[in-house]
Amino acid sequence: MPHHAVLKETSFTTKLRVVFIGSEKNSNGVSLNDILMIGPKVQDDLFDIVQRFRLHRIVMSADVVKMYRQILVHPGDRCLQRILWRKTPDQPITSYELNTVTYETASAPFLATKCLQQLIEDEAINYPEAAKIARDGFHVDDLITGTDDVDTALSLQQDSIEMLRKGGFTLRKWSSNHPALLKHLPPEDVERRFLLSFGKEDVIKTLGLLWNSTTDKLIFYVQINQDTTPTKISVLRAIASIYDPLGILSPVIIQFKMFMQQLWQIKINRDDQRTTELKEHWQSLQHNLPIVTGIQIDRLVISKEKLRRIELHGFSDASEVACGACTYLRSTDVQGNITTRLLCSKSRAAPLKRLPLPRLELCAAMLLADMYQASSRALKISFNKTRF
């Protein structure tokens, strides 16, 4: 297996990482990844985890230290993970076999997440509540979970640490919206929050989202290369650079998707020059995109007090160029105070084949129905009322 080193000076934990290339083909035209099975997905979707993250009053996040390197590969399979090494060009080449699950092999994600899941199942009898939040809160090696009070959160945190330690997994980079969950931890186990900073606000990256644990806000950060001439590749790159699993920025992203459709409709190759009008439209889209960086929304979508009632309200609509849907949670606490916040949304460009408006409105209604089913599955709560 070919391998090389990657140095990341900004990392406080692992500055030097070794990257292995399991897709490199040998002299017979076959790579290790070609003969490995990928395995099924054993964890919840990212969309589900992020939605639940917004439902807890007290939240915490952590990740497993070098998770792949804590899992041994069967001795009979280690010959497939053979590498060549020497410290200097003058020394003879030595052959080594990697003993643990290796990143960039096709089966690595399944092997790691399945071992983690099996540990949780094995220890569920000893740590029932911690096993439940770990089962629902892990995305690969990232744990994101929460509860409604500090005492319960502290108990779950301690049990999670002990449970995962039984399998040789260590949880570090802890972060929380409540300082009580961090002050008893060793300093090296607390997230240093250095990834992105807006003024004096410390922000950490949580499954690709920017979360200010001090203000408990979700923050959007968008930065794309300013391409003067739009191509299909540059537009696709801009769309892919906006990470928004909840669809909060759908009104922004749909404009880029509609622009992409324009490029397809004029039937010009990807690197050809565009018309002046298209160039001006593209430059306007890029110029307005950084405005998104200033948007902040509340992470918590329900009332901070004990709930008396919770409802889900969905809206959908369509035009000749696009359709969209969004859902809101409306919660009422015991004092009668009402909190209404956007939960998620989706938008789609209308098909290039022209459809009548009623048909497009049905597409939007279907989009909303699918979103409702996904949210119901993720949140695992019973709504007192659901209205579309």
The H-assigned helical ranges of 192-231 are none
Mean pLDDT lowest for which of 3-17, 249-263, 366-380? 3-17
Q: Are 25 and 41 in contact (CB under 8 A)?
A: no
Q: What integer pLDDT is reported at residue 53 of this predicted model? A: 93
172-181, 192-201, 260-269, 378-387: the lowest-pLDDT one: 192-201
Last residue of a domain, one of 195, 218, 241: 218
- Mean pLDDT score, 96-101: 95
16 and 127 both lie in a single domain: yes
Do 143 and 155 lie in one domain? The reply is: yes
Residue 375 to residue 370: CA distance in whole angstroms: 9
Q: How confident is the model at residue 154 (pLDDT cuts 50, 70, 90)?
A: very high
* Residue 276's pLDDT band (cuts 50, 70, 90): confident
Measured CA to CA, the distance from residue 282 to residue 292 in angstroms comes to 16
**Per-residue pLDDT at 267:** 66
Mean pLDDT within 101-115: 94
Note whether residue 168 is domain-resident. yes
Residue 303 belongs to what domain range? 299-387
Is residue 121 assigned to a domain? yes
Predicted local confidence at residue 228, as pLDDT:
66
Reply yes or no on whether the pLDDT at 268 is more than 70: no
Same domain for 331 and 260: no
Report the distance separating Cα 195 and Cα 173, nearest Å: 12
Q: Which of 173, 136, 106 is nearest to 43 (CA)?
A: 136
Q: Report DSSP state, residue 24.
A: -
Residue 33 is encoded by which pair of tokens? 């990844």
- The answer to whether 266 touches 230, Cβ cutoff 8 Å, is no
Same domain, 239 and 267: yes
Predicted confidence at residue 199, as pLDDT, reads: 40
Same domain, 154 and 178: yes
Flag whether pLDDT at 279 surpasses 60.
yes
The pTM of the full predicted model, rounded to 2 decimals, is 0.85
Q: Are 159 and 303 contained in the same domain?
A: no
β-sheet bridge partners, residue 348? 323
| 134 Cβ contact list (under 8 Å, min separation 6) | 120, 143, 145, 160, 163, 164
Shared domain for 114 and 263, answered yes or no, is no
Residues 152 and 63 in one domain: yes
Claim to verify: residue 267 and residue 305 sit in the same structural domain: no
Looking at residue 200, its pLDDT comes to 40
- Sequence-separated (6 or more) residues with CB below 8 Å from residue 226: 286
Sign of CA dihedral 122, 206, 70, 43: positive
**What is the distance between the alpha carbons of residues 211 and 203, in angstroms, rounded to a whole number?**
6
Examine the domain organization and report whether 209 and 250 are in the same domain: no
pLDDT for res 204:
59
212 and 130 within one domain = yes
